[in-house]
Amino acid sequence: MAALPYIQLYVADYLSDTMHLETDEHGAYLLLIMNYWQTGKPINQKHIKAITRISNERYADVIETLQHFFNVDDNGMWFHKRIEADLEKVREKSTKASDAGKKSAEARWKNRGKATDVITNVTADVIETLQRNCNHTDTDTDTDTDTDTDTDKKKEIGDKSPQEKIEKTKRSTFKVPTLAEVCELVADENLNLEAVAFINFYESKGWMVGKSKMKDWRAAARGWSSRNSKKSPEGATNTNQGLNHQPNKSGKNYGTPESIKPAFRDFEQERKDAAIAGGKRRLLERKANEAAIVLPEADFITLQHRAG
């Protein structure tokens, strides 16, 4: 057995048993115990002098005193009862650990052997199946060319064509309409709807329908027109075509769809031009502020023309 790096020394027991020893006898006794523990076997009486390093004058007295702690057999071997008991415990613990390790290794090898057997059996089954398929001759004379109904179902349920996907994406992408577009829809479909009121209403709502983002403003305009028609007197029709022009007392309305379309196209263009001009004016004002220059109106107009 390999030497252990430590020894169990019960201090209280040791001192109670060795209170009568001299200093050199304590040293000799401890050296004998340590040698016993390190070698794991009894001590030969021939080696005691070399282990204890006692002088010749004291050797006989020390040996006589230390013999009371050991059992000496006929062969001159010194046995220590306490150390033998401790060594036996260590041997039992080491044997149990060794046996557990061997059992664990055997179990691992057994499981590995089972896995190898499974792989071998599966491989044999696969080879047998392949050979059977290779040797099989197809005797089916059925001439039906399409008996698979799953393919048709997949075509019905499967992904749409790229063009259909593009069209669906276009429909699902919402774009805020312009006033001209709303007026054009009102004129084309003769809707009972005021375009300006329609745009102002949904602008204030952020183009939301309830809690959801609007998907189709044309459908919303048709629904608005339908609700207005239900509220209006029976038989009344819309003749203003999206403008906020009310009929006079005689019921006449001097606006026509063909005359309204160009007018509102011009109105939309003027609004865009005004927005661009306003942006340029703000840019010039910011540059002037950065330069700490106060421009008179005439100079501002000159700079505006240059920026344009």
β-strands 43-44, 77-79: how paired?
antiparallel
Q: Is residue 234 part of a domain?
A: yes
Number of compact structural domains in the chain: 2
Q: Does residue 308 surpass a pLDDT of 60?
A: no
- The answer to whether residue 109 scores a pLDDT higher than 50 is yes
pLDDT of 298 strictly over 70: no
Which CA distances in Å does 298 have to 277, 301, 302? Answer: 16, 5, 6
Q: Is residue 140 part of a domain?
A: no
- Among the listed ranges 120-134, 145-159, 221-235, which one has the minimum average pLDDT value? 145-159
Using the 3D structure, point to which of 255, 271, 287 is the last residue of a domain: 255
Residue 7: what pLDDT? 82
* Residue labelled with tokens 């009310």: 246
So what's the pLDDT on residue 276? Answer: 74
pLDDT of residue 295: 52
- Are 111 and 224 contained in the same domain? no
Buried b (16+ CB within 10 A) or exposed e, 62-96: bbebbeebbeeeeeeebebeebeeebeeeeeeeee
**pLDDT one-digit tens code per residue, 167-208:** 665 556 888 999 899 999 999 999 998 889 999 999 998 999
- Could you tell me if 99 and 3 lie in one domain? yes
Residue 82 resides in a domain: yes
Share of the chain above pLDDT 90, in %: 17
Task: Report which of 241, 268, 269, 246 is spatially closest to residue 257, judged by C-alpha positions.
Answer: 241
Read off the pLDDT of each residue in 137-152 and give the average, rounded to a whole number: 54
Calculate mean pLDDT across residues 274-290: 72
154, part of any domain: no
Is residue 99 a part of any domain in this protein?
A: yes
Residue 222 sits in which domain range? 174-255
pLDDT at 248 over 90: no
Mean pLDDT for the chain overall: 76
Residue 33 lies inside a defined structural domain of this protein: yes
pLDDT band at 135 (very low <50, low <70, confident <90, very high): low
pLDDT over threshold 80, residue 40 = yes
